[in-house]
């Protein structure tokens, strides 16, 4: 997403590599955004949908004017980013079946950064046999 330098990137390949390294074939995998203004979510990797997210989120919680957010009175300017994260979610849990992420058609895991271009940090926990 382009507003204020937000980034939307797929994590699916990285999560699949973590799963392969774990050796788990049946279980659950949790993927968590480790920033309060970032999100991990599942949806379709389609550019039109990515654009729709950008427009929809900016309508729900526009960045400007920054003075409209009580949070920004602390010296921050990211009140909108906290709200966008709340809407998009903190984490996802995916079933692992036969050593693979058990997705529906078109599902991918994404990281959304709503407060500029900080380096992303994601927690991946894998539980199973």
Q: Say how many CA atoms lie within 13 Å of 23 toward its Cβ.
A: 1
Number of domain units in the chain: 1
* pLDDT score recorded for residue 3: 41
Which CATH number fits the domain that encloses residue 109?
A: 2.60.120.460
- pLDDT per residue over 22-73, tens digit each? 999 999 999 999 999 999 999 999 999 999 999 999 999 999 999 999 999 9
pTM of the predicted protein model: 0.91
Residue 118 confidence (pLDDT) above 80: no
* pLDDT score recorded for residue 2: 32
The token pair at 124 is: 């991946």
The whole domain housing 10 covers 3-128
- CB proximity list for 33: less than 8 A, separation 6 or greater: 39, 40, 85, 90, 91, 111, 112, 120, 121, 122
């Amino acid at each position: 997403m382009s507003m204020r330098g937000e980034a939307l990137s797929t994590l699916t390949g990285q999560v699949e590599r973590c799963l392969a390294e774990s050796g788990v074939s049946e279980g659950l995998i949790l993927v968590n955004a480790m920033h309060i203004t970032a999100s991990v979510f599942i949806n379709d990797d389609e550019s039109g949908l990515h654009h729709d997210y950008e427009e929809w989120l900016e309508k729900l919680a526009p960045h400007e004017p920054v003075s409209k957010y009580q949070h920004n009175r602390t010296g921050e300017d990211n009140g909108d980013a906290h709200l966008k994260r709340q809407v998009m979610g903190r984490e996802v849990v995916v079933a692992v079946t036969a050593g693979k992420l058990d997705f529906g058609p078109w599902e991918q895991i994404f990281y959304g950064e709503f407060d500029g271009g900080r380096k992303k940090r994601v927690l991946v926990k894998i539980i199973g046999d």
